[in-house]
Amino acid sequence: MSVYVGRNVQVVITETSEGDMGSFYAQEVTLEPKQAIEAIDALNSDEVQVWAPGLKTYEGSIKEAFKVGSDGQKILSRVAAFQDSLKEYTMKLIFDGGAGNKITVTLTGVIFTETSISQPKNEPAYISTRLMAESASVSIELAA
């Protein structure tokens, strides 16, 4: 099941403290819950004892406007090629659920798994980046 979160979603990405990576409006965000079936075997044995659901993750992509300069550098540094290890982020997606309701999807343990892809290719106005998260939660604020 793939979930299209929507257009013009406010995105807040955090590395160490709330909002330290800034806030912006994404053009498009997609999320897809994934859960692999994994083989469990006995110690010192390659024989499968049981098949079990593995760790659930959330995969997706984010399409955002690319700004030349320091803003663009922040975007590109999240997915620098040949980095020693992947940094983990927290990402909040905030959008209007209609009738004044605010919906917030919070993803934790977010890593950007691939370098960004420019769209269009020759003069990038937007970049699209794949992501993976360890957990997700949803909160809904109802209008008074």
Q: What is the pLDDT of residues 37-50, one digit of tens each?
A: 777 777 777 777 78
Neighbours of 128 (CB within 10 A): 18
Measured over the CA atoms of residue 15, residue 73, residue 107 and residue 132, the dihedral's sign is: negative
Q: What is the pLDDT of residue 125?
A: 80
User: Based on the number of CB atoms within 10 Å of its own CB, is 119 exposed (0-12), middle (13-18) or buried (19 or more)?
Assistant: middle
Which residues, 6 or more positions from 104, have their beta carbon under 8 angstroms from its beta carbon? 92, 93, 94, 138, 139, 140, 141
For the chain, the domains span 3-36+52-141
Q: Judge contact between 67 and 24, C-beta under 8 A.
A: no
Q: For residue range 95-122, list pLDDT tens digits in order.
A: 877 777 888 889 999 988 877 777 666 6
**CATH number for the domain running over 3-36+52-141:** 2.30.110.20
Give the 3-state DSSP-derived string for the chain, with helices as H, strands as E and coil as C: CCEEEECCEEEEEECCCCCCCCEEEEEEEEEEEEEEEEEEECCCCCCEEEEEEEEEEEEEEEEEECCCCHHHHHHHHCCCCCCCCCCCEEEEEEEEEECCEEEEEEEEEEECCCCCEEECCCCCCEEEEEEEECEEEEEEECCC
In this prediction, residue 90 carries a pLDDT of 92
pLDDT of residue 103: 84
